[in-house]
Copies of this chain bind each other. A is one copy, B any other.
């Protein structure tokens, strides 16, 4: 085989000529339509291989009026000016979601389009933009603090959509999430089993479902273990926030011996403060985080934490959307994953 100069790519027509059949037949083979003579099919398949034919998506979606593209869109409230000060993409969480999404999409020969929308104006233009970009399914990661209008707009437009995490307000849209309360309970059980008596928690922002549920779950579980009260300090899911919260907790409950933190990043900050306060971990204070993100491994001691199966969740989102692209009549579905405890050195 000689090296092809970068000439025009082979078309259906070319394949037809080589195979000595009509375009329609080749098309049938390509799309594996039933009625086609096995002999001819083989001839055509060889011709396809010989020519290196690959269907032209543009032409295809132009005629079918179906696009088949998938977008991974990240919706942010408002990007603060310049500076790459750790945007969404910098968050390791994002990478794990991508990992899962890609793992499910790639075997189908699909590749997601990466879109970021960080203003209300862009949000309002998203649906037309999706049409333009040939995408007909959306995996949405919303970092919108309050109620993101996107899920509503997308479902109204009939675009199969799956959300990462339960939407702030109930809506008829697919989503994946982790059983936050169960995760918190697992942490509570562990602390109690270790013999902790004075237990506290650093909670996430009360405005977020994750923040609320993890706190509620922890309180419930502790109550069931007989602990009517647990000290609570709120953090903002950042490391620094965790440090500040830990300081407050230490002031309120100096004798605490068990701590549940609503995410690993804050737990990492808490660890530092505890150590600086002379507490040995886990001997003086047992600490459990949430997420099982990378920091859990670089903390010292390494963090015992409640693992969120983020990759599996990403893959599930992809599946949901694909299912609904195939059958738009499917109802909105939610898949809640069970978290599990990853025991390391901090508890």
Contact = CB atoms under 8 A, between A and B. Distances in A.
Interface string A270-306: 0010010000000000000000001101111000000
Interface string A222-254: 000000000000000001000000000000000
B58 A134 contact: yes
Contacts of A9: 128, 131
Given A295-B294, A295-B298, A299-B298, A132 B99 contact: no
Q: Most chain-B Cβ atoms within 10 A of its Cβ — which of A111, A113, A268?
A: A111
A300 B297 contact: no
A116 B101 CA distance: 11
A30 to B, nearest CB: 12
Contacts of A275: 300
A193 interface: no
How many copies of the shown chain assemble into the complex?
2
A91 interface: yes
A167 interface: no
A57 B134 contact: yes
Contact of A128 (B52, B58, B67, B98): B52
Interface in A152-167: 156-158
Contacts of A158: 6
B57 A294 contact: no
Contacts of A65: 8
A129 B297 contact: no
A102 B89 contact: yes
A87 interface: yes
A55 to B, nearest CB: 6
Contacts of A114: 72, 98, 102, 111-114
A268 B79 CA distance: 31
Interface in A134-156: 134, 156
Contacts of A98: 89, 114
Contact of A84 (B86, B96, B131, B156): B96
Contacts of A96: 84, 89-90
Nearest to A297: B239
28 contacts: A9-B128, A52-B128, A54-B131, A56-B132, A57-B58, A58-B58, A58-B59, A58-B62, A58-B67, A58-B134, A62-B62, A72-B114, A84-B312, A89-B98, A89-B99, A90-B294, A91-B95, A92-B294, A98-B114, A102-B116, A111-B133, A113-B114, A239-B297, A275-B300, A294-B294, A294-B295, A298-B298, A300-B300
Given A91-B95, A98-B114, A112-B114, 5 more contacts: A9-B128, A52-B128, A90-B96, A102-B114, A298-B298
Interface of A: 3, 6, 8-9, 52, 54-59, 61-62, 65, 67, 71-72, 84, 86-87, 89-92, 94-96, 98-100, 102-103, 106, 111-116, 128-129, 131-134, 156-158, 239, 265, 268, 272, 275, 294-295, 297-300, 311-312
